[in-house]
Amino acid sequence: MQLEDKISILSGAAKYDVSCASSGSRRHNKGMGMGSASCAGICHSWSDDGRCISLLKILLTNRCMYDCAYCANRCSNPVPRAAFTPEEVVDLTVNFYKRNYIEGLFLSSGVERSPDYTMEQLVRVVRALRMQHEFHGYIHVKAIPGASETLIEDAGRYADRVSVNIELPSERSLNLLAPQKKRGDILMPMDFLGRHILANRDERTRSRRAPLFAPAGQSTQMVVSASPEPDCQILHLAESLYRRYRLKRVYYSAYVPVNEDARLPCVRQPELLREHRLYQADWLVRFYNFTAGELVDEAHPQLDRDVDPKSAWALNHFERFPIEVTTADYETLLRVPGLGVRSARRIIGTRRHAPLRFEDLPKIGVVMKRARYFLTCHGRFAEQTLQSPEMIRALLAPPKAPPDTGVQLSLFGEM
Amino acid sequence: MTAWEYDGTFEGLLTAFAAAIDMDAHPDDIAPEGAQLALSGAGLIAGDPARAERLVSLLRTRCAPLTLKHILYCFLSETSGYERTLLEYVRCALAHGKRVDTFHANDAVRAVHELSRKVSGEIHRLGGLVRFRELGDGTFWAPVEPDHNVVCGVALHFMRRLPNQEWIIYDMRRGYGVRWDTHECTPVTMNEELDARIRKEGVDTVDILSASEQKYQAYWRQYFEAISIGARTNPRLQRRNMPQRYWRYLVERPAGGAWRAGPRAVRGTHLSGRSPGCLRGTRERNLLYWKANTGATGGRE
């Protein structure tokens, strides 16, 4: 088989893996070998679906012994199968990197023969890149559930990020849709990696020379809307993953129908808005000191689709507002819809040496679209009258589409 | 009403600033030589390296390194009419020292930050969007057409990233580039004949490329097509993240818009309201100033 065809098959098979982050790791190049990893991450291109391409995202092989209902590569699917040799992957990575097409490699694989065999193949590629080619670029490698701990440890030693996919939000759904996979097999390497990463960070604080172990941490991914769990359950799961295994990221991927299967819901379009709201809530949990319980609970198991989770929270807790922008502390400012980490810091920095006025807020970069309803400055609102939460919600929610036609209106009239 | 002219170099600009600060003068306009000044009676300030250097070291002692970077980036932005705002910023920086960059509500500070953000943003963006082509002699060559004069900044990134590789990053619009020979950076200019051929025939068809170059380009295009999820196609998002003006020298072919082959025909169109000549002879000095002001030594550290 030609290399072109392999690239087509094996990157086409890897495209449902969401993660393409290349951030969180800093590798300096001291003049030996090639490449470096930039802490902020660099995107190198954007594919036609608008997602960034920063890593060469491929499967080593799409031959797989599992039969998971939602997966394009399940063994019962009649798709063309292919496998790279480790040398081919190394050659592609190095040559793409030299031409600055990519920031590094994202390597995953279908499970062929056994988890151990597959994991060993993955480690071979990563080791060759780091040891033979002195490659200092970013490497993200999948840990295969069920593989031995020594192999996973090897992967962590060479890669920047290691990830295990949790696949689905609950054990029940996993048993139904991926009967050959066990929840315990997935959580075990996660726990192992979590403990190892923590121990390594500790070592690194004591000695700069301690070897790196997965410096960009571990992440995971789950498919949403393929199973009936509400947002409430998904967010609580994510929160506990962050807390227990210290994950860097949980990725959510809206289910894209690739297979006909009675166990799967019938969807025409992937639920992108749901995915978006989940990411917004995820950010609130990680960077804004929110707990999942504040955003969703038994009474409101789903996130609000019309307004973002922070606005929804603020409207449900309207008694806590307005916030006085000249005196509120950092944590309180962070809870105001429209204020982010940067705006909150700038507000605090600016009011330290000058009185803050409403007209200064847009100047220092605060987006007033949402914030104006929740802030006072020297006791005054930006608006003339204090509005009720219902009125504010109506202003913030997207205008309802005209119910009749269902045809997308064109901005430029009929062509 | 007074207007000052400087020689179009960074040094010249700093000399003019130093003069204004020393004399406590507030000229109504400061512009590079050759720009069409609306005000008559423009006085030319001759560039004085020693005087410029004094201002730089004064700024170094009083302010944070970031302040100097903002000043340099404003110069490299090559927008017209930023000079007076920048002078105000420099005055503010000398008066308030390290605190100046927290004055977000100050108009001059905000304008300078915005301009500087555009330049550093473009440097970061090009760090991803630059595409090297392997030439027959093993050098990797990347043509770019940035909005701002950022080739040196991009080169600095690749000096750290690809130190064992010989490469050239070439600004097709400004007609100069930076060459890295695995030890140091030097400014280069392409010969006219090759320049004309590339403009006529396109980047990837000229016979200076190495034998394996086409192969890896084909692999990359193949990859680019396969990685996109058809059910989520979103050309608007694609264009927002990767503006179309950067597509000309990409290897891949994004679908979200018409892809046009070949570089822009007109040269020097970026210098709106200025004659292109105002930057003549400044390349080497820009590079030197780059090194002086960002702490890069030019050679391997």
pLDDT in tens, A135-152: 999 999 999 999 999 999
Which of B233, B258, B132 is closest to A47 using CA atoms? B233
- Say which residue, A33 or A61, is predicted with more confidence: A61
pLDDT at B290: 52
DSSP bridge partners of A111? none
Which of B181, B188, B215, B160 is closest to A88 using CA atoms? B215
**Does residue B202 lie in a domain region?**
no
pLDDT in tens, A171-202: 999 999 999 999 999 999 999 999 999 999 99
pLDDT at A116: 94
| B220 part of contact set with chain A, CB < 8 Å | yes
A311, containing H or E segment: helix A309-316
pLDDT at B39: 55
Q: Would the CB atoms of B254 and A16 count as touching at under 8 Å?
A: no
C-alpha distances in Å from residue A6, one per residue of A1, A82, B234:
7, 6, 26
Which of B4, B54, B9 is closest to B31 using CA atoms? B4
Average pLDDT taken over every residue of chain A: 89
Proportion of chain B above pLDDT 90, given as a percent: 31
Q: Which residue of A has its CA nearest to B229?
A: A49
pLDDT at B256: 62
Low-confidence winner among A340-349, B193-202, B232-241 (lowest mean pLDDT): B193-202
Average pLDDT taken over every residue of chain B: 80
Return d(Cα B32, Cα B7) in angstroms, integer: 6
Q: Would the CB atoms of A96 and B105 count as touching at under 8 Å?
A: no
Return d(Cα A268, Cα A168) in angstroms, integer: 20
Read off the tokens for A141. Answer: 């490698």
| B111 part of contact set with chain A, CB < 8 Å | no
Residues in chain B with CB shorter than 8 Å from the CB of A92 are 219
The mean per-residue pLDDT over the stretch B199-225 comes to: 85
Q: Where are the domains of chain A?
A: 3-216, 309-396
Return the SS3 of A295: helix
Residue B149 burial (CB count, 10 A): 23
Low-confidence winner among A66-70, B123-127, B156-160, B207-211 (lowest mean pLDDT): B207-211
Sequence-distant (6+) residues with CB within 8 A of A279 are A252
Tell me which residue in B129, B142, B237 faces A44 most closely, judged by beta carbons.
Answer: B129
Grade residue A220 by pLDDT with cuts at 50, 70 and 90.
very high
Return d(Cα B226, Cα B228) in angstroms, integer: 6
Q: Would the CB atoms of A363 and B102 count as touching at under 8 Å?
A: no
Q: Would the CB atoms of A98 and B300 count as touching at under 8 Å?
A: no
Q: Which residue of A has its CA nearest to B103?
A: A350
* Nearest-neighbour CA in chain A from B155: distance (Å): 13
Is the pLDDT score of A341 beyond 90? yes
Q: Would the CB atoms of A3 and B129 count as touching at under 8 Å?
A: no
The interface pTM score, or ipTM, of the predicted complex is 0.87
DSSP bridge partners of B45? B6
pLDDT in tens, A263-312: 888 887 888 899 999 999 999 999 999 999 999 988 889 999 999 999 99
Give the residue from A32, A47, A84 with the most B CB atoms within 10 Å of its CB, the best one to mutate.
A47
- Say which residue, B276 or A318, is predicted with more confidence: A318
Q: Would the CB atoms of B102 and A349 count as touching at under 8 Å?
A: yes
Tell me which residue in A48, A56, A95 faces B254 most closely, judged by beta carbons.
Answer: A48
Q: Which residue of B has its CA nearest to A51?
A: B238
Give the B window 122-151 contacts with A, CB below 8 Å: 124, 127-134, 140, 142
Range of the domain at B71: 3-124
Residues in chain B with CB shorter than 8 Å from the CB of A15 are 226-229
Grade residue B261 by pLDDT with cuts at 50, 70 and 90.
very low
Grade residue B266 by pLDDT with cuts at 50, 70 and 90.
very low
pLDDT in tens, B60-76: 899 988 898 899 899 98
**Does residue B90 lie in a domain region?**
yes
**Does residue B257 lie in a domain region?**
no
A263, containing H or E segment: none
Grade residue A18 by pLDDT with cuts at 50, 70 and 90.
confident
Give the residue from A9, A16, A58, A99 with the most B CB atoms within 10 Å of its CB, the best one to mutate.
A99
Tell me which residue in B99, B129, B161 faces A35 most closely, judged by beta carbons.
Answer: B161
**Does residue B52 lie in a domain region?**
yes
- The answer to whether residues A165 and A190 touch, using CB atoms and an 8 Å cutoff, is no
Sequence-distant (6+) residues with CB within 8 A of A177 are A68, A69, A70, A168, A226, A227, A263, A264
Tell me which residue in B102, B226, B233 faces A7 most closely, judged by beta carbons.
Answer: B226
- The answer to whether residues A107 and A142 touch, using CB atoms and an 8 Å cutoff, is yes
Q: Would the CB atoms of B124 and A360 count as touching at under 8 Å?
A: no
pLDDT at B196: 80
* Nearest-neighbour CA in chain A from B200: distance (Å): 23
| B99 part of contact set with chain A, CB < 8 Å | yes
Q: Which residue of A has its CA nearest to B132?
A: A99
Is the pLDDT score of A414 beyond 80? no
Residue B172 burial (CB count, 10 A): 21
The mean per-residue pLDDT over the stretch B169-190 comes to: 86
Residues in chain A with CB shorter than 8 Å from the CB of B159 are none
Is the pLDDT score of A401 beyond 50? yes
Is the pLDDT score of B279 beyond 60? no
Phi, psi at residue B125, to the nearest 5°?
-65, -45
pLDDT at B296: 40
* Nearest-neighbour CA in chain A from B238: distance (Å): 4
The mean per-residue pLDDT over the stretch B89-98 comes to: 93
Show the 3-state SS of A75-121: CCCCCCCCECCHHHHHHHHHHHHHCCCCCEEEEECCCCCCHHHHHHH
Return d(Cα A83, Cα A58) in angstroms, integer: 10
Residues in chain A with CB shorter than 8 Å from the CB of B250 are 45
Q: Which residue of A has its CA nearest to B299?
A: A31
Tell me which residue in B107, B128, B237 faces A50 most closely, judged by beta carbons.
Answer: B237
Grade residue B109 by pLDDT with cuts at 50, 70 and 90.
very high
Return d(Cα A359, Cα B34) in angstroms, integer: 39
Q: Which residue of B has its CA nearest to A57?
A: B227
What is the tally of structural domains in chain B? 1
